[in-house]
Amino acid sequence: MVTRRDKSELELRLTELLEPVLQTQNFELVDIECKQGKRMILRIFIDRLNGDRAISIDDCAEVSRVVGPILDVEDVILSSYVLEVSSPGVERPLVKPEHFQRFAGRRVKIVTHGLVSGRSVWHGVLASASSDKCTLVAEHGTVDIPYQSIARANLEFRFEDHKH
């Protein structure tokens, strides 16, 4: 299930192609973005399957070496492109129900396609997540947000939450 936003056909095809390959390398494909400009930029966001340590530059280089030849052979992208591989970062996108479940208890920002309980932008703590919706505790109250309504969701980093 895709919750980041409506993915293009190309992004869906690339996800289908690359997800199993990355899993064999012990990486999770968190998200894919294709941005068209003078030259297409293909961004691949990865994390470790076991989450035991952060993604390193060497990990990104390794994934780039694995993914590049596959993209060339499969000829999925018809124009020239730039491949970027990176970690999802501290404000990582939440794309799959498993992401919402994994980050329960953390602050998030959710933008919906239309209004959910009168709002389209939500900030709050992710209370729980099931296979079809997440529950958010926000300043306006608790709300259930079906994944199909989510245009974009990500963790929300607040410096004051991480002071020692």
Question: What digits encode the pLDDT tens for the residues 27-41?
Answer: 999 999 999 888 899
Per the CB < 8 A criterion, the answer to whether 50 and 27 are in contact is no
Tell me the pLDDT band of 126, cut-offs 50, 70 and 90.
Answer: very high
pTM, entire model = 0.81
Hey, where are the domains in the chain? Answer: 9-86, 97-162
CATH superfamily of 97-162: Ribosome maturation factor RimP, C-terminal domain (2.30.30.180)
Q: 90: which 2 tokens? A: 């501290």
| Cross-strand pairs, 27 | 48
Q: 22: which 2 tokens? A: 């990355």
Tell me the pLDDT band of 51, cut-offs 50, 70 and 90.
Answer: confident
Residue 8 pLDDT exceeds 90: no
CATH superfamily of 9-86: RimP-like superfamily, N-terminal (3.30.300.70)
